[in-house]
């Protein structure tokens, strides 16, 4: 294990942003992968002992000892496995093979009285171990780190939606002033979208599926040794005992459609948040949102007055990088030449990097949302300066009252013109409508024309 200073890290994930990515270390580090392989090999050995056909016997104390190997796995253990792989030991020459190194490590660590060398890794191909190990790490990484971070962002959005449910704000469609909304309702839209995206990620994580079918997916080695054992049923039971679904039909490799589905789901969540990042950035640029400042914090190296939306910019950059990586992973891991090629092995080692960029993006966005404060005065001034947005309301009331040319009347008054509420009221005075309708029209203001925005904000 390395004690390298973060300032010397090759990647910002382990350098500048290490404090954000640290929660992923137990799931995405090389040590974590080695430990997961040890777990698979140990549990597989115990499962073999439970078969009636095999002469292997492992008593309760020995099982406890074996499981303690991965439960108490530490940096020294990981270093030994790596040494067996790369330089060798007094007992073993360098394997230049990471899974074989785990097998030899377990030979050294097996309990006294158990001579199980011939049963370790019995009938397996390395991919049987690796595909399970990766999923044993990826599943909790998503469920224990990524999903909680996403839910924190959703909760921040819900708080904003509820706190500012009644705050009127000018909308912009095609970049132009449009029917007013409320700031809370706009945040509720993102909370709702993110909630659905979280559900897709959660389901995809729950669907992760492993294989244990040998060198070409035929159970050949298992079957030739013990033809009377129902190996497909054994494999299904074993894989499910690890908390994973079972993939029964494979080549040497797990086809990884489950990984692709998870990566696609994460991309979907990230796309929602990228949209949010850009919207909030624009709200800050329009001064609709202010940002709370911290004492001593620098916004610009040369312009002291600035409070830049750096959390949203950082989130946007990291989520964009994450989606680039996730798209690459989803497209790559589902392809393998014939029954298997090894290019996927190095690619899968980068899954942690994609998750790390996701996590940084989520945490930066959550921090940014915690700092923003709607500038209700600016929002109100903008609404007062664009009275033409009540034109939709005027023409809908007139349509209701039987004016078939209502749209054309309002269009003639407002399109391309600087219009005031007084101009609207002059139009109202010329209309042949009942006094109560005149009163209804005269009461219209941009700030009051927000429909059910406040009520919709409560639906999060």
Domain residue extents for the chain: 9-119, 126-376, 386-457
Nearest to 372 by CA among 311, 292, 293, 441: 292
Tell me what pLDDT residue 297 has: 54
Tell me what pLDDT residue 170 has: 97
Phi, psi of 113 (to 5 degrees): 90, -10
Q: What is the mean pLDDT of each run of 10 residues along the chain (460 residues)?
A: 71 93 96 98 98 97 98 98 97 96 97 95 98 98 98 98 98 96 98 98 98 97 98 98 98 97 98 98 96 60 60 98 98 94 92 98 98 96 95 91 85 80 87 90 95 95
**214's tokens:** 């040998």
Residues forming a β-bridge with 169: 181
Q: Classify 9-119 by CATH class.
A: mainly alpha
Question: Could you tell me the CA-to-CA distances from 304 to 297, 371, 374, 420 in Å, in that order?
Answer: 10, 19, 22, 38
Please answer whether residues 154 and 195 qualify as being in contact, where contact means their C-beta atoms are separated by less than 8 angstroms: yes
CA distance 359 to 365: 10
Domain made up of 126-376: CATH architecture: Up-down Bundle (1.20)
CA distance 261 to 139: 13
CA distance 423 to 172: 22
CA distance 289 to 391: 26
Tell me what pLDDT residue 1 has: 42
CATH for 386-457 (2.60.40.10, 3.30.1490.100, 3.40.50.720, 1.10.40.30): 1.10.40.30
Query: Residues 306, 309, 314, CA angle at the centre, nearest 5°?
Result: 130
Helix (H, G, I), strand (E, B) or coil at 182: strand
Question: Could you tell me the CA-to-CA distances from 129 to 126, 222, 252, 256, 336 in Å, in that order?
Answer: 5, 15, 11, 14, 18
Q: How many CB atoms lie within 10 A of CB 126?
A: 19
| Residues carrying an active site annotation | 174, 300
Question: Taking the model in full, what pTM does it have?
Answer: 0.93
CA distance 150 to 270: 10
Contacts of 314 (CB under 8 A, 6+ apart): 360, 361, 364
CA gyration radius, the chain: 31
Nearest to 226 by CA among 145, 325, 119: 119
Same fold, 9-119 and 386-457: no
Helix (H) or strand (E) holding 441: helix 435-442
Tell me, rounded to whole angstroms, the distance of Cα 93 from its chain centroid: 42
Helix (H, G, I), strand (E, B) or coil at 224: helix
Tell me what pLDDT residue 413 has: 77
Q: How many CB atoms lie within 10 A of CB 72?
A: 9
Tell me what pLDDT residue 426 has: 87
Per-state percent for the chain, helix, strand, coil, to nearest 5:
60, 5, 35
């Amino acid at each position: 294990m390395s004690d390298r200073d973060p300032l010397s890290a090759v990647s910002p994930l382990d350098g500048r942003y290490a404090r954000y990515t640290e929660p992923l270390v137990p799931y995405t580090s090389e040590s974590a992968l080695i430990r997961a392989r040890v777990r698979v090999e140990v549990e597989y050995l115990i499962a073999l002992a439970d078969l009636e056909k095999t002469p292997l016997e492992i008593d309760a104390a020995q099982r406890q000892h074996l499981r303690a190997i991965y439960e108490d796995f530490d940096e020294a253990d990981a270093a030994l496995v790596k040494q067996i792989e790369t330089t060798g030991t007094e007992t073993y020459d360098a394997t230049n093979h990471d899974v074989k190194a785990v097998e030899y490590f377990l030979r050294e660590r097996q309990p006294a009285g158990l001579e199980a060398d011939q049963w370790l890794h019995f009938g397996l191909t390395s991919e049987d171990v690796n595909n399970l190990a990766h999923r044993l790490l990826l599943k909790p990484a998503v469920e224990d780190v990524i999903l909680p971070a996403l839910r924190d962002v959703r909760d921040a959005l819900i708080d904003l939606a509820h706190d500012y449910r009644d705050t009127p704000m000018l909308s912009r469609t095609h970049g132009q002033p449009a029917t007013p909304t409320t700031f809370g309702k706009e945040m509720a839209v993102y909370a709702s979208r993110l909630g659905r995206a979280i559900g897709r990620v959660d389901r995809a994580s729950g669907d992760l599926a492993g294989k244990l079918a040998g060198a070409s997916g035929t159970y050949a080695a298992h079957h030739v040794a013990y033809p009377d054992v129902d190996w497909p049923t054994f494999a299904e039971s074993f894989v499910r005992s690890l908390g994973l679904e079972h993939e029964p039909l494979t080549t040497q490799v797990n086809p990884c459609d489950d990984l692709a589905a998870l990566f696609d789901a994460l991309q979907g969540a990230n796309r929602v948040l990228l949209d949010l990042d850009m919207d909030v950035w624009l709200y800050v640029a329009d001064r609709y949102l202010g940002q709370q400042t911290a004492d001593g914090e620098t916004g610009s190296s040369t312009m002291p007055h600035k409070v830049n939306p750096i959390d949203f910019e950082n989130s946007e950059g990291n989520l964009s990088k994450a989606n680039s990586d996730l798209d690459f992973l989803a497209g790559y891991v589902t392809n393998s030449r014939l029954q298997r090629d090894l290019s996927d092995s190095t690619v899968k080692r980068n899954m942690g990097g994609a998750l790390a960029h996701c996590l940084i993006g989520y945490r930066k966005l959550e921090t940014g949302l915690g700092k923003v404060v709607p500038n209700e005065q600016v929002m109100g001034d903008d609404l007062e300066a664009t009275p033409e947005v009540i034109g939709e309301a005027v023409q809908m009331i007139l349509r209701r009252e039987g004016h078939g040319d209502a749209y054309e009347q309002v269009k003639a008054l407002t399109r391309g013109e600087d219009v005031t509420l007084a101009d609207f009221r002059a139009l109202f005075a010329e209309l042949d409508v009942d006094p109560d309708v005149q009163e209804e029209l005269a009461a219209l203001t941009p700030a009051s024309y927000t429909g059910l925005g406040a009520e919709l904000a409560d639906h999060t």
